[in-house]
Every structure is written in structure tokens, then in C-alpha cells.
Amino acid sequence: MNANDLAGRVALVTGGASGIGAACARLLAERGARVYAADLSPGPEVAHLDVTDESQWEGLIARILREASRIDILVHSAGVSAASALADTSFAEWRRVLSTNLDGAFLAVKHGMRAMGQQGGAIVLIGSASGTRPAAGAAAYSTSKAGVAMLARTAAKECRDRGLAVRVNVVSPAGVKTPMWSGMPFFQDLVLKLGSEQAAYDSMTASGGGVFAEPREVAESVCFLASDAARHVTGHELLVDGGYVL
């Protein structure tokens, strides 16, 4: 049971065009998996997938099963963030975040379970430490990620109760150096004020935001949970947060 050996596995990674998803796709491939990456922003090696559209999930899963005959690993990394005070958050923005982060995770688990079936497999969702420790100014995001953690637990229990060898877990990082930050106005202001993204990350760390991880560091934990080394681990939320929630 070697966590570094995923030879022969077929993996689907959502959010695979950038950030944590791209890092997971690369690391899974390095360790021998045949990887299908999908994202709302497709590319030469990344299929198009709107994770809130069930018909697109059905089409992509069917394609993979035609081409590879199986799906052993599903890493659901696609997600969005938002930063606004709760009283200033529009209902449309609330729905956008919940639809992408929680509805998307539901569809990932639902169709991952169906595709894996009796042969089994591993589903790993990307949560967030903000789903455990609330983040002021990010109510929609924190709520969506708390829901992802409970979704994984209930799905894991259902698989166990039904005798399906499908494991469902969550990796929940704190701050990670990904392009998601660049779209946030407060982060853009910090970069302008301090002169670089690294300086902005250092500033947030100094103000209590915790040490920011590299995407590959999160991918290492994802690959562990996807491997046979974690074959007895299911329904678990693995915090990769440097103690941020403590």
C-alpha cells in the first residue's frame, strides 16, 4: 500500500485548470494515474465542465467510462469564493457561491458513486478550514464549505451501509496560494499597497491568517486519501491548515 503508486488508476479532477485542481491533476499523473482534468475554463488538456450542470456531469462521466472503462478517483476541486459582509451580500451572490461549491460537490459525489459502483473508488472533495473556523466577511463561502464536510460524511456512511467500496473524504486547507485570491478586491488592494502577491500573503499571515500553503502541498494530502494507503479512511475531513482552526 504505497501512497505514491497510483499506476493504472483512472482519475477525474474538477477545477483542473489552475490552483489546487491543477496541482492534483499533475501529482496524480506523476504517480501513474490516467487523469481527466475538467474546468469551467477548458484548455488543450482540460475538458469543459460547469459543475452546477448535471447534464454536463453525465456527459463527461459517460465519456470517461467509454474511453477508460472505469473511474477510480474523483477529486472535486472546482469552487468559487466571495468576500463581503453578510448584510451586504446579495441573494444572487449567495446562490452563486452555494450553487458552485455545495451543489457542485453534491453532483460530484452523486455521479462519482454511480460511476464507481461495486468496483469501488475514492472521492476526495476540497473543503476549507473556513468551514470549521468561520471567516468574517465570507459567510456564503464558510457555509458552503461546512456543508461539503457534512456531505462527505453522509455519503461515506451511505456507501458503507450499502456495502459499496467507495470512500468519500475531504481535504480542507486554510490559505493556499492560488489564482482565486487575485479576484478579491481586498487582495488586489493589498498587492497594490505592498508591491507583490507574496507581500500580500505575508501581510495576511502576520495578521492571523495562518501560513499560506502551496497547491502541491494540498495535493499531497489528496493523493494520500485517493491511494490504498488510506483504504480504511472514509468520512474524514483532513485539515491541512497549519493549526489555523486551533
Of the candidates 36, 141, 201, 244, the residue annotated as catalytic is 141
pLDDT at 96: 96
Q: How far from each other are the two terminal CA atoms of the chain, in whole angstroms?
A: 32
Whether 141 is a known active-site residue: answer yes
pLDDT at 1: 59
Asked whether the beta carbons of 58 and 114 are under 8 A apart, the reply is: no
pLDDT at 159: 97
For the beta carbon of residue 232, count every other beta carbon within 10 angstroms. 8
pLDDT at 2: 67
Q: Which of 91, 66, 93 is nearest to 81 (CA)?
A: 93
pTM: 0.92
Tens digit of each residue's pLDDT, the chain (246 residues): 566 789 999 999 999 999 999 999 999 999 999 999 999 998 888 999 999 999 999 999 999 999 999 999 999 999 998 878 899 999 999 999 999 999 999 999 999 999 999 899 999 999 999 999 988 888 999 999 999 999 999 999 999 999 999 999 999 999 888 877 776 777 777 888 888 888 888 887 887 767 788 999 999 999 999 999 999 999 999 999 988 888
Domains for the chain: give ranges and CATH numbers.
10-176+214-240 (3.40.50.720), 178-212 (no CATH)
- Dihedral over Cα of 87, 83, 153, 47: its sign: positive
Structure letter (DSSP) for residue 103: I
227: which 3 cell numbers?
A: 491511494
